[in-house]
Chains A and B, each alone.
With several copies, the nearest count.
Chain A
Amino acid sequence: MEKEKPKIVKKIMFVMRHAPHGTIYSYEGLETALIMAAYEQDLSMTFIGDGVFTLVKNQKTESLGTKGFVATYGVLEDYGIEKIYVDKQSMEDRGLKPDDFIIPVQVKETSEISALMEEQDATVPY
């Protein structure tokens, strides 16, 4: 899709803190990320708290009758969103490890995530 490219490139981080399925935040948040990806900004996505459940493998929503949107997170990289961070403590508190996720992620310490947040021009929380 051809877009008139703005000259400004900003650092924008999506901060995902909601579990998938119980509420729509991680689904509609993904929609935002995919649209924003067309604007050639410096995007990243960080999973904190229950947000880390979003990327868990083997989510099967057929028996709920809802759209299984989580696989779509797999296309983030194709859309140029390559910086995917997971908060280590959130992951460990929930009994998860990097292998449990559908895509490769960068597991970060609390202090590293704080530093990344401070670098951003804007954070978009969902």
Chain B
Amino acid sequence: MLHIVNKSPFTNNTLTECLRFVTQGTVILLIEDGVLAAKSGTVYSSKMTETLKKNEVYVIKADILARGVSPIIDGIKVTDYEGFVDLVEKNKVHSWV
């Protein structure tokens, strides 16, 4: 299953709530302000590092570039909109809007 999250984890509890429902094999895709969770050295980054031990986490490159998010946490995969489409093709989807 693919979980899509578009909110900042610093402002909104959406990502934290989403992560509670993640199971073995769940893929997480961060888009829009959601990519702020991919920044290293923040109060949220240990939660992401923990998540990466069990789950794949992707971010949209255009969203990372737009926000100047750097450096990103080791292990997070950077993809583009075509990669996003491929993830949707491979997995059932839930959007945590």
Contact = CB atoms under 8 A, between A and B. Distances in A.
Interface of A: 15, 17-23, 48-50, 53, 56-64, 66, 89, 93-95, 110-111, 113-114, 117-118, 120-121, 123, 125
B74 to A, nearest CB: 14
A103 B13 CA distance: 27
Contacts of A123: 93-95
Given A60-B66, A60-B68, A89 B42 contact: no
A90 to B, nearest CB: 8
B56 to A, nearest CB: 16
Contacts of A22: 6-8, 32-33
B83 interface: no
A58 B71 CA distance: 12
17 contacts: A19-B8, A19-B33, A19-B36, A19-B67, A48-B17, A60-B65, A62-B65, A63-B65, A64-B62, A89-B20, A93-B10, A93-B43, A94-B36, A95-B45, A113-B21, A114-B21, A118-B92
A49 B32 contact: no
A87 B33 CA distance: 20
A63 B61 contact: yes
Interface in B9-62: 10-11, 13-14, 17, 20-23, 32-33, 36, 39-43, 45, 61-62
Contact of B23 (A111, A121, A125): A111
B66 A21 contact: yes
B94 A49 contact: no
Given A22-B6, A48-B17, A57-B68, A15 B94 contact: yes
Nearest to B93: A123
Contact of A114 (B11, B17, B23, B67): B23
Contact of B67 (A20, A62, A93, A111): A20
